[in-house]
């Protein structure tokens, strides 16, 4: 459906983007390719982490995995051998890289039929940093085709990791990413906000500032601050004042203290940051905020760090009815992302 100003938007049709903690029908993944650029020379070292992720997800909900061809599917099946497969489905949808949060479909729901739809935002691999991205760019429409769902096209570049919703009309994002001229230089802030409202069914847009060092996404919100309930957020803080992350994260905390939803101030919980991780002279964007909320569990990236246990405790307080599954991501973070970056939830509809 083209972005015709005279056509009804998903919001006017009653659609909204649910919060991640609302019930899922499935989790979508895009399996990495050995020859991809995300894990240079490290695919086999990343497989145990991917397997642990899928194993934890299958205990909670069905898992759909995008693969490019039969050989790619065989590679993925070999990595996941001996896992229960009755809730595991492979889809012939080729991708360039595995970051399904950013290139995958954003699902929206409503009470009337059709109850589920897909928003297909434009995609340019985080500001054109990692070509080619032609396969990733069309993933949402291909998923919608396989599920026989309507598709809406905002005609604006947006990655799923750059937005965070509470399911009742509020959206968190960052100026560092959404206002970066490498995404949508033709749009002003007000125009970006209007598209978010029109296509995701939100009303209040809450802006934070910059992201963490080493984050090649220019400041995705899913490394910084996450909704854990309608009015409560978890946000990362760097306690070491000498660390480059201290100042921008503290600035974000100060912004959060001033923000409101429906006139009510946010409740703020804090997560520590792991110690600096460097590989090949590159600081990696390790963050405990890159967790994924599944139906029965929360997948938490950990880094053999002294703050791992504290992060588990904070997440368990935030999600007392879910099991926190902590998985070592020291190899996965070499791809500059963790569990939230790899996953995309498909909401459950009645």
| Ordered domains of the chain (ranges, CATH) | 24-347 (3.75.10.10)
Structure tokens at 171: 């959206």
Alpha carbon distance 184, 194 (integer Å): 14
Average confidence score pLDDT of the chain: 97
Characterise 307 by phi-psi region: left (phi > 0), alpha (psi -120 to 50), beta (else). alpha
- Average pLDDT score over residue span 228-250: 98
pLDDT recorded at residue 51: 98
Q: Taking the complete model, does pTM exceed 0.75, yes or no?
A: yes
Per-residue pLDDT tens for 56-66? 999 999 999 99
pLDDT greater than 90 at residue 40: no
How far are the Cα atoms of 42, 135, 329 from residue 38, in angstroms, in the given order? 9, 15, 14
pLDDT in tens, 268-281: 999 999 999 999 99
341 is catalytic: yes
The answer to whether 346 and 28 have CB atoms below 8 angstroms apart is yes
Does residue 5 carry a pLDDT above 70? no
144 conformational bin, left if phi > 0, alpha if psi -120 to 50, beta if neither: alpha
What is the number of other CB atoms lying within 10 angstroms of the CB of residue 230?
A: 16
Q: 311, 300 in Cβ contact below 8 A?
A: yes
- Give which of 309, 298, 286 is closest to 224, Cα–Cα: 286
* pLDDT higher than threshold 70 for residue 2: no
pLDDT at 179 over 50: yes
The first and second tokens of residue 135, run together, are 């396969």
167 Cβ contact partners less than 8 Å away, ≥ 6 residues apart: 16, 17, 18, 19, 21, 22, 230
């Amino acid at each position: 459906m083209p972005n015709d100003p005279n056509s009804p938007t998903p919001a006017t049709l009653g659609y909204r983007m649910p919060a991640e903690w609302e019930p899922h029908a499935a989790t979508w993944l895009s399996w990495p390719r050995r020859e991809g650029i995300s894990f240079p020379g490290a695919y086999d070292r990343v497989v145990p982490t991917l397997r642990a992720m899928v194993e934890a997800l299958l205990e909670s909900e069905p898992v759909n995995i995008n693969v490019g061809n039969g050989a790619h599917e065989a590679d993925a099946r070999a990595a996941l051998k001996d896992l229960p497969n009755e809730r595991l489905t492979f889809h012939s949808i080729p991708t360039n890289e595995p970051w399904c949060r950013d290139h995958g479909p954003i699902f929206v729901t409503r009470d009337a039929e059709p109850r589920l739809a897909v928003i297909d935002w434009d995609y340019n691999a985080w500001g054109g940093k990692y070509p080619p991205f032609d396969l990733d760019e069309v993933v949402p429409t291909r998923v919608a085709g396989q599920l026989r769902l309507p598709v809406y096209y905002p005609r604006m570049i947006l990655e799923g990791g750059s937005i965070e919703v509470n399911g009742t009309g509020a959206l968190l994002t960052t100026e560092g990413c959404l206002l970066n001229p490498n995404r949508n230089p033709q749009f002003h802030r007000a125009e970006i906000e209007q598209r978010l409202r029109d296509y995701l069914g939100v009303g209040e847009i809450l802006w934070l500032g910059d992201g963490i060092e080493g984050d090649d996404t220019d400041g995705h919100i899913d490394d910084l601050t996450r909704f854990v309930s309608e009015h409560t957020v978890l946000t990362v803080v760097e306690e070491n004042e000498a660390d480059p992350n201290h100042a921008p994260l503290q600035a974000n905390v100060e912004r959060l203290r001033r923000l409101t939803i429906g006139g009510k101030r946010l409740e703020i919980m804090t997560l520590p940051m792991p110690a600096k991780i460097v590989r090949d002279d590159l600081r990696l964007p390790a963050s405990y905020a890159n967790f994924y909320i599944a139906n029965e569990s929360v997948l938490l990236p950990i880094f053999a760090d002294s703050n791992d246990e504290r992060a588990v405790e904070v997440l368990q307080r935030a999600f007392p009815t879910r099991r926190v599954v902590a998985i070592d991501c020291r190899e996965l973070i070499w791809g500059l992302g963790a569990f939230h970056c790899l996953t995309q939830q498909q909401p459950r509809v009645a």
